[in-house]
Amino acid sequence: MNKAMLAPSMMCADFLHLEEQLRLFEREGIDLLHVDIMDGHFVPNITLGTDFVRMLKKATSIPLDIHLMVERPENLLPAIAFGEGDYVSVHYESTVHLQRVLAAIRERGAKPLLALNPGTPVSMAEEVLGDIDGLLVMTVNPGFAGQKLVPSALEKIARARLYLDAYGMNESVIEVDGNVSIPNGIAMRAAGADIFVAGTSGVFIGDDMAGNIRHFRRQVFGE
Ligand code: DX5
Ligand code: ZN
């Protein structure tokens, strides 16, 4: 089993206290910052953008986990500040040149992940397995925080793990995004998930964020 990592979802952050929250994440040894970029077309919402990513890059050394929910991500890629140590996810349906986009991400030293909507089969990864460092299994339909888990998602995580392992890709990660609460997280970890995106279900609840993080790691990661 790969190391479990926690990635707070920055679209759920309190933007009036961003600096404070970043320092707290640093103190708590947060592994990754999940950054949702939406274009209002691929998903029916608009969230964070290229300037926000640039600002985060300057403000903290925590690696980024950039989730592109945009049509034709190849057009946006040059404007996004990422590099060595960062993850960048691209949705299967978002581009007709999937392999080229994933290769361009790797070219910049980052780790490309293929993002799969709840309705997208794991087997769609087949032809780009050599171009990815893992899969982002969406556990809700992307676009909004605060949604309910799609029930088939847990089995899909387990199938994704088996699928990658069957190709000898044991070190490739499985990321889960959407309604990653503590109880869901426990089931997701048992199914083989490694990177846990925590939004309004996991970390951004109430005002004791450090407590939430510790509690999540204890319960879900067994730390
Ligand atoms: C969904 C977003 C998630 C979202 C998860 O499209 O990609 O990152 O913020 O947050 P919760 O925990 O609210 O489901
Ligand atoms: Zn996301």
Could you read off the pLDDT of 44-84 as tens digits, one per residue? Answer: 999 999 999 999 999 999 999 999 999 999 999 999 999 99
For residue range 205-215, list pLDDT tens digits in order. 999 999 999 99
Return the H-helix or E-strand segment holding 10: none
User: Does the C-beta of 141 come closer than 6 Å to ligand 1?
Assistant: no
Query: Which segments in the chain show pLDDT lower than 70?
Result: none
Catalytic residue at 177? Answer: yes
CB-CB neighbours of 93 under 10 Å: 15
Q: What local confidence, expressed as pLDDT, does residue 197 receive?
A: 98
CA atoms 194, 199, 202, 208: torsion sign:
positive
pTM of the model: 0.98
Helix-, strand-, coil-residue percentages of the chain, each rounded to 5: 40, 20, 40
Tell me the Ramachandran region of residue 40: left when phi exceeds 0, alpha when psi lies from -120 to 50, beta otherwise: left
For position 166, what pLDDT does the model report?
98
pLDDT given at position 23: 98
Give the position, in ligand 1's atom list, of the atom nearest the Cα of 200.
13
Q: Is 54 exposed, middle or buried (0-12, 13-18, 19+ CB in 10 A)?
A: middle
* Best mutation site among 200, 204, 205, 220 for ligand 1 pocket (most ligand atoms within 8 Å of CB): 200
Task: Tell how far the Cα of 172 is from the centroid of ligand 2, in angstroms.
Answer: 18
- In three state form, how does the secondary structure of 171-219 look? CCEEEEECCCCHHHHHHHHHHCCCEEEECCCCCCCCCCHHHHHHHHHHH
Minimum-distance ligand to the CA of 136?
2
Whether ligand 1 lies within 6 angstroms of the CB of 185 is answered as no
